[in-house]
């Protein structure tokens, strides 16, 4: 067992001072403020920007139209008789003829407009109105080209500008409708995300997956098939069409599926089971068809459905019977998996932590015919996972990942990642450039129980009561043979707990015996009994302890067959104890046995505390003084009172590469 003395702050580093909420929380995120755009819908600020852009364009077009039409109306329009009079007076310098329109330029550079009768000549008309040929010869008459740019601009702009305005408004409205109502036309398309195998930034391989050795060996066959399908087909073997990954949350099911695709170098289509189902009937089935068509076009490929129990539950339990949308989606998945040809190189992988609720048709051979169970990592696997997550993290010389792995039984891979991340955050918060063992040990408790609540101050009497409560847990657990050894005791509030006693086994084990259960019940009741002995009264503090021992005792009687009175019969396969599978007489027997087991555990705890009253007082007083006792300090108190601490069996040391 590696020493735990390195859980104190590293030398040269001051223990973090109590910080105010303002310092810890930092500045308020400006992005979190609700801006004015949020009062518009749909689309928030995007909608507001589109609307403002459209208004600006609209105003610019109106201004341009007004400017052009204004220029056209600037010239004064006169009659032909006035034109003839001006020609006789010699004040007209030039006349430009555009069809029936006349543009007159005077000697003082002013411009006027006039209009002649259609089908008549300008010279003849002006002569008729009194202008002589000599007078007309002093005027330059030009015939404008009606196909020029200026002609067409003047002619078409009054027609085109209103149409352009209407077009801009239509495009704006269409974009908004597409973002809202028109999405209904894309409901049937698959929402699966495809991971490109050639993208090194997103590629995951088995080297990135620590632990889970048996699961990786099972999945290596799938990788081999995707790489060399001919080897299997030539010998008449058919690779499984579906692989179901089963395990507790956070054990790495999704990561393993991505690693299979990364090792094989094939496209990876991932989607959640809940993304198939919408409020419209038939949408889920349509998305399933679209997803399988995409995968077949990209074959060899992998389809991964996360949380498949969202659509794969036993049929017949839906509200709509056979017309239930979820059941139609499941039926389409079953049909698509049956429709695979032996040579189609598309493999379906799915993940769930509730395999007991899946439809039998989904789990039969020919569909998800291979099941890979991913267990919580043992100590060696936890050490590997911690080593993977320690990459690119600067550690101090005192870091020992073996100690961290030993202190984290029952942690999943996701929790171990969170532990390492919390350790880095704690170091950065204290402005240090290296992560110390002290940070990792603190992060274990933070992940398990929550952050410390040092602002939750107890008065002296509450502090003393909490110390006796935790001392009762620790002392009973240390004396009883089959209880887990104590690693730490604290009366500092953390999460919802006023204090806590950290008990961890020396070695991971998959099964527990009746003796271990009974000692655990007695140890859990140690705090309840200690309060009763010292104060002669009961508080609300042990309420969670009572709930834990009641559930454990009921499991012993009704699930594990550990009661001689009730016998080796399992009356409940889950925690729904009250059901119709047994009579009232059996229920009364179960209740009586649960009460008996708890009472016996209580008396065993009382006997231990009475026999070692001096040790109980010593532990409690030490806790009142220092608030937290690590394992080494706690064992010194035990030995001072004649109690031999539990020792770990000798085994070959396991070292961790940091």
Q: Which residues are catalytic?
A: 470
| Residue 299, both tokens | 């074959």
Q: Name every residue whose Cβ is closer than 8 Å to that of residue 415 and which is 6 or more positions away in sequence.
A: 250, 408, 447
- Phi then psi dihedrals of residue 407, to 5 deg: -85, 0
The neighbour count for residue 435, using CB atoms within 10 Å, is 22
Label residue 502 exposed, middle or buried (CB < 10 Å: 0-12, 13-18, 19+): buried
The neighbour count for residue 333, using CB atoms within 10 Å, is 31
Q: Taking every pair of C-alpha atoms in the chain, what is the biggest distance, in angstroms?
A: 143
The neighbour count for residue 377, using CB atoms within 10 Å, is 27
| Residue 455, both tokens | 């602002």
CA–CA dist 89, 43 (Å, integer): 68
H or E element: which one contains 621? helix 613-626
CA–CA dist 4, 551 (Å, integer): 33
Please report how the helices 543-558 and 514-524 are oriented relative to each other, as an axis angle in degrees rounded to 10.
Answer: 160
Distances (CA, A) of 75 to 103, 113, 161: 9, 6, 22
What's the Rg (C-alpha) of the chain?
42
Reduce the secondary structure of 534-547 to three states and give it as a string.
HHCCCCCCCHHHHH
Among candidate residues 373, 360, 341, 372, the one with its CA nearest the CA of residue 241: 341
In what order do the strands lie in the sheet containing 486-490? 500-503, 486-490, 628-630
Q: Name every residue whose Cβ is closer than 8 Å to that of residue 194 and which is 6 or more positions away in sequence.
A: 267, 268, 269, 294, 298
Query: Is 529 within 8 Å of 605 (Cβ atoms)?
Result: yes
Query: Is 109 within 8 Å of 119 (Cβ atoms)?
Result: no
Q: Which residue has the tokens 């949408």?
A: 283
CA–CA dist 450, 136 (Å, integer): 103
CA–CA dist 64, 240 (Å, integer): 69
């Amino acid at each position: 067992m590696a020493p735990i003395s390195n859980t104190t702050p590293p030398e040269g580093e001051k223990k973090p001072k109590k910080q105010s909420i303002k310092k810890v929380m930092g500045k308020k995120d400006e992005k979190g403020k609700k801006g004015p755009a949020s009062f518009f819908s749909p689309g928030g600020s995007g909608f507001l920007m589109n609307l403002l852009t459209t208004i600006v364009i609209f105003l610019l077009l109106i201004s341009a139209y007004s400017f052009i039409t204004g220029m056209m109306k600037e010239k004064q329009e006169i009659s032909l008789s006035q034109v003839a009079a001006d020609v006789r007076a010699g004040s007209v310098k030039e006349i430009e003829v555009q069809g029936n329109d006349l543009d007159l330029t005077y000697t003082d550079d002013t411009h006027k407009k006039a209009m002649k009768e259609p089908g008549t000549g300008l010279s003849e008309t002006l002569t008729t109105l009194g202008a002589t040929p000599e007078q007309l010869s002093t005027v330059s008459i030009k015939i404008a080209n009606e196909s020029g740019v200026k002609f067409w601009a003047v002619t078409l702009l009054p027609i085109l500008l209103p149409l352009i305005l209407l077009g801009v408004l239509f495009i704006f409205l269409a974009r908004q409708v597409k973002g809202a109502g028109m999405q209904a036309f894309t409901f049937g398309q698959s929402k699966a995300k495809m991971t490109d195998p050639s993208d090194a930034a997103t590629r995951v391989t088995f080297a990135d997956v620590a632990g889970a050795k048996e699961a990786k060996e099972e999945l290596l066959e799938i990788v081999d098939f995707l790489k060399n399908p001919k080897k299997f087909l030539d010998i008449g073997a058919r690779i499984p069409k579906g692989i179901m990954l089963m395990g507790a949350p956070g054990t790495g099911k999704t990561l393993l599926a991505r690693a299979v695709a990364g090792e094989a170098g094939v496209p990876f289509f991932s989607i959640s089971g809940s993304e198939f189902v919408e409020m419209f009937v038939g949408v889920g089935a349509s998305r399933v068809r679209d997803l399988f068509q995409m995968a077949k076009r990209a074959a060899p490929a992998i389809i991964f459905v996360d949380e498949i129990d969202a659509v794969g539950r036993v049929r017949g339990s839906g509200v709509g019977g056979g017309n239930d949308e979820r059941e139609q989606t499941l039926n389409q998945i079953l049909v698509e998996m049956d429709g695979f040809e032996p040579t189609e190189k598309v493999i379906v992988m799915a993940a769930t932590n509730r395999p007991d609720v899946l439809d039998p048709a989904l789990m039969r051979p020919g569909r998800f015919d291979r099941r890979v169970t991913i267990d919580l990592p043992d100590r060696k696997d936890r050490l590997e996972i911690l080593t993977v997550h320690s990459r690119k993290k600067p550690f101090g010389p005192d870091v020992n990942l073996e100690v961290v792995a030993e202190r984290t039984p029952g942690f999943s891979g996701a929790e171990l990642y969170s532990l390492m991340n919390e350790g880095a955050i704690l170091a950065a918060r204290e402005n240090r450039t290296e992560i110390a063992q002290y940070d990792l040990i603190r992060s274990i408790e933070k992940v398990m129980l929550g952050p410390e609540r040092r602002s939750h101050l107890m008065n002296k009497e509450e502090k003393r009561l909490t110390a006796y409560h935790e001392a009762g847990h620790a002392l009973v657990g240390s004396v009883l043979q089959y209880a887990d050894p104590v690693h730490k005791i604290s009366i500092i509030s953390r999460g919802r707990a006023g204090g806590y006693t950290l008990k961890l086994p020396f070695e991971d084990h998959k099964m527990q015996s009746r003796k271990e259960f009974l000692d655990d019940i007695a140890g859990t009741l140690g705090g309840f009994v200690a309060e009763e002995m010292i104060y002669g009264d009961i508080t609300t503090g042990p309420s969670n302890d009572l709930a834990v021992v009641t559930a454990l005792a009921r499991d012993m009687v009704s699930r594990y067959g550990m009661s001689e009175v009730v016998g080796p019969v399992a009356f409940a396969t889950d925690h729904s104890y009250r059901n119709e599978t047994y009579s009232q007489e059996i229920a009364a027997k179960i209740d009586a046995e649960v009460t008996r087991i708890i009472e016996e555990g209580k008396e065993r705890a009382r006997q231990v505390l009475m026999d070692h009253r001096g040790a109980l007082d010593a532990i409690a007083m030490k806790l009142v003084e220092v608030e937290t006792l690590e394992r080494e300090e706690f064992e010194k108190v035990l030995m001072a009172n004649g109690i031999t601490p539990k020792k770990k069996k000798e085994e070959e040391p396991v070292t961790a590469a940091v």
